[in-house]
Every structure is written in structure tokens, then in C-alpha cells.
Amino acid sequence: MTPIRILVVDDSVVIRRLLSDTLSGDSALEVVGRASDGRIALAKIPLLKPDLITLDIEMPVMNGLETLAAVRKLYPSLPVIMFSTLTEHGAAAALDALSLGASDYATKPSNSGSFSVAIEAIPRDLIPKIKALCGAPKLLTLPPPRPPTRLRAPVQRRLEIVAIGTSTGGPNALTEVLPRIPPDFPVPIVVVQHMPPIFTRLLAERLARRSAIPVEEGSAGAILTPGHAWIAPGNFHMTVIRAGVDWRLNLNQAPPENSCRPAVDVLFRSVAAAYGANVLGVVMTGMGSDGTVGAQHIRDAGGEVIIQDEASSVVWGMPGLVCAAGQADGVYPLDQLAPEITRRVLQSRSPRTPLALKSYATLEPPSK
């Protein structure tokens, strides 16, 4: 198998060496070049023909965001992973990069004082993302023969909550979905997006500015209310529990599941236990298997699960595995997910007025 060709772009000699040595230690990867700023990187791309670029954000001459914009104009399909610091500024810049078309991001260790910590972080956080974006096409272009979706007798379930799970490509996907949820949406929405601390709060703030419904980072004890969305905070599992007549959020730092904290499976299990059949689960773009077992819990309890399709996913790992497991009640392109979520929720609560639901099919994000 031909190794994945990588161009490392970073103004730090130490980071360039660290990335090059660690990435080259994996037989599936080959670092074909290094660059200390964006201008040099742009000159090397046509010569080296990399399969992927790792791109620092803070650089002299031409910074990461400027370089990314130029790469997207010249090479629109070339995967780019931003390499940012785990700081407020670094997180904000990484989110800016995702909105400009970056494929994903990884956080670089900072102020750790330990080279070994940095070396451990790269195989854990960066290499899987490189392989997901450049390995077997979208991880699951040719999934194993899947069992048919387990058919169930028609049930008039009244949906009371929407639970969304996503990872790679998720921030942009959520920006397409949550701003198209109508302001009078009658149920709460809970979301797991695989992200570290700081990132999840900034993502929630950005989504809130674009959406007609309130969006915020989840907090322990928050009471779930209709027409409100919560994003699980980085490094915490988020669950839903029944507390008297209310449903509340709970946070914990139990061990990661599927190498993730927050994990989609944890959230999905909890909503299935709290709401039974009255759950709509949604699995969107992302690498790995998180959400597959949780989707089964939702459907075993009588709820529904829909997924994002392969063509519109950055990586069809999470939704693809739900599909392969026969746990998807429907497969939709990204631009149809918000209308479908709205249609299913409203129809479950007002089954006699389907014509009134058609207006939501073309719902556009509010202008703000």
C-alpha cells in the first residue's frame, strides 16, 4: 500500500522535527516535505504532491488561515489538518479554519515541558485523523454487507428529545443543522461533538449567534427545556437524567468510551433510558464507531435513529457503522437533516396535520 504523503507546515523547528519523526515512524505515512510558513508551503505543494497538509495557525510571512484560504482556491479537495494550541485563541482560530474549509484540527501540546507528552499526543490524536481522511475512502466506502434495518411495527411515538452525535466535520455540519431548527421547536436538543475543553464552549457560542434557538455548553443540573440545544463540554460525558417532573443534564468524567470523552454512546444510552421510545437520535459525519452501540440502545427502547449520508460526510465512519449495523431508520444528505428532524418531531406530536409540516422543508437559517 502506498504511504500517505504529508507536508508539514509549522514555523517551529522543534515541532516540524517532532511531527516529521513521529509521523514517519508509522509505515502508512511518509513526510515528503516541511515548510516554515505558508508561502513556502504553497510553492512546495505542486512539486511534492502531498496527500495531506498539517498546517500551523500562527506563522510569520503567511499565517495558517491565509495559507488555508489559498490552498482551498488552488486545491479544493486537498485535506488540511490545522495544528493549534489548546488555548482560547488557538481554539477560536481552529474554528475559523474549519469554517474556511479545513478538514479537521489537532491540538499541539503546549507548556507541558515534556517531549514525551508531545510524542504520545501525536499517535493518539493526529495520526488517526490523517488515516481517516486519506486512508480507505471515507473509512467505509465499501462497508461489509449489512443486515437490513430491523423493521418494527408502526408505533405512534411522541418524540420528546433529539440527541445528536458527530465528530470529524461536525462543527460545520452542526452549523448547517442547528440554525435551521425553527424557534418554536417543541423539544430539547442534546449534542455530543468530539472536541476538547474550550473548543466546545466557543462552538456553542458561535452556533448560538447563528441560530433561532438558544445554544449553550452543557452544565450539570441544567433543566432541559423545549427549543434549546446543549453541547457536551470537552472532557466530560454528558447524560440526561429524570429528576422529579424534570429532565436534567448530568456531567461526569468516567473513563472514555471509544477513546472519546464526551462520547456519543454515553449520551445515547442515557436518553434511551430516560425517554424510552420518545427519542430521535441523529448520527452525523465523524470517524470511528462512537454512536453505533448507542443507536442500538435508542432503537431497542423503541426510538428512531437517522444518519447523514456518505456523500455529504467528511468521514463516513460513525454514520456508516450505524448504517452497517442496520440501526438507521433513514439516511439523508446534510442539507436535508434539519428539515427531516423538524418533520419527524412535529409529525410525531401533530399526526393529523401533515400539510402544516411542508413549510419546514425549505427552512433557512435566520439572518443575524
Q: Which residues contact 316 (CB under 8 A, 6 or more apart)?
A: 138, 139, 140, 141, 285, 309, 310
Most confident of 89-93, 150-154, 266-270: 266-270
**Domain final residue pick, 98, 117, 134:** 134
Q: pLDDT over 90 for what percent of the chain?
A: 79
Of 343, 270, 275, 273, the closest CA to residue 306 belongs to 343
| Domain ranges, residue 36 | 4-134
pLDDT, mean of residues 270-294: 97
* pLDDT score, position 363: 52
Give 114-145 pLDDT, tens digit per residue: 556 666 778 888 999 999 999 744 433 334 44
Whether residue 128 is found in the same domain as residue 223 = no
206's enclosing H/E stretch is helix 199-210
Task: Assess whether pLDDT exceeds 90 at residue 9.
Answer: yes
Residues 94 and 174 in one domain: no
Q: Are residues 32 and 177 in the same domain?
A: no
What angle (nearest 5°) sits at the alpha carbon of residue 172, between those of residues 4 and 102? 35
Model confidence at 153, in pLDDT bands (50, 70, 90)? low
For residues 318 and 290, the answer to whether their CB atoms sit within 8 Å is yes
* Per-residue confidence (pLDDT) for residue 156, from 0 to 100: 73
194 included as an active-site residue: yes
The reply to whether 145 falls in a domain is: no
Residue 290 is among the residues annotated as catalytic for this protein: yes
pLDDT band at 154 (very low <50, low <70, confident <90, very high): low
**Is 75 domain-assigned?**
yes
Q: Where is average pLDDT lowest: 119-128, 227-236, 285-294?
A: 119-128
Q: Please say if the pLDDT value at position 112 is more than 80.
A: no
Judged by average pLDDT, the poorest of 137-141, 325-329, 337-341, 360-364 is 137-141
pLDDT the model gives residue 123: 83
Count structural domains, the chain: 2
- Output b/e per residue, 63-78; b: 16+ Cβ within 10 A: bbbbbbebbeeebeeb
Evaluate whether residue 316 is within a structural domain: yes
- Whole-angstrom distance, CA of residue 41 vs CA of residue 57: 13
Instruction: Specify whether 214 is located in the same domain as 251.
Output: yes
pLDDT at 359: 45
All three cell numbers of 280: 430521535
Q: Tell me which of 167, 211, 270, 313 is the catalytic residue.
A: 167
CATH number, position 90 = 3.40.50.2300
pLDDT on residue 361: 47
Residue 190: closest CA among 321, 298, 39: 298
Greater model confidence, 156 or 245: 245
Same domain flag for 122 and 212 = no
Q: What's the mean pLDDT in 214-220?
A: 98
**Orientation angle between helical segments 264-275 and 292-300, nearest 10 degrees:** 10
Same domain, 249 and 320: yes
Distance of alpha carbon 268 from alpha carbon 306, whole angstroms: 13
Q: Mean pLDDT throughout 160-177?
A: 97
Report the interhelical angle of 88-99 vs 199-210 (nearest 10°).
50
From the candidates 10, 194, 289, 329, give the one annotated as an active-site residue. Answer: 194
Residues 195 and 339 in one domain: yes
One domain for residues 126 and 206:
no
Q: Summarize the confidence of residues 76-88 as an average pLDDT.
A: 90
Do residues 205 and 110 both lie within one domain? no
pLDDT at 157: 82
Q: Taking the CA of residue 23 as centre, how many other CA atoms within 13 Å lie in the half-sphere pointing to its CB?
A: 28
Q: Does 270 participate in catalysis according to the annotation?
A: no
pLDDT for 141: 39
326: left (phi over 0), alpha (psi -120 to 50) or beta: left
Q: What is the pLDDT of residue 357?
A: 47
Residue 348 lies inside a defined structural domain of this protein: yes
The residue that leads in pLDDT, 201 or 139, is 201
All 3 cell numbers of residue 151?
423493521
Q: Which of 290, 297, 309, 313 is catalytic?
A: 290
**Can you give the pLDDT at residue 328?**
96
Angle at 363 between CA 357 and CA 368, to 5 degrees: 145
CATH number at residue 178: 3.40.50.180
Q: Is 230 among the domain residues?
A: yes
Three-state DSSP state, 313: coil
pLDDT higher than 60, residue 366: no
Domain membership flag for residue 60: yes
- β-sheet with 304-308: strand ranges across: 215-217, 229-231, 189-193, 161-166, 279-283, 304-308, 330-332
For 189-245, list the strands marked E by DSSP: 189-193, 215-217, 229-231, 237-243
Same domain membership, residue 299 and residue 209:
yes
Residue 318 scores a pLDDT above 90: yes
Regarding whether 318 and 261 lie in a shared domain, the answer is: yes
**What is the phi/psi pair of residue 152, to 5°?**
-130, 155
**Which residues make beta-bridge pairs with 215?**
229
98 lies in the same domain as 236: no
Whether 93 is in a domain gets the answer yes
Please tell me the predicted confidence (pLDDT) of residue 152: 56
Residue 148 lies in a domain: no
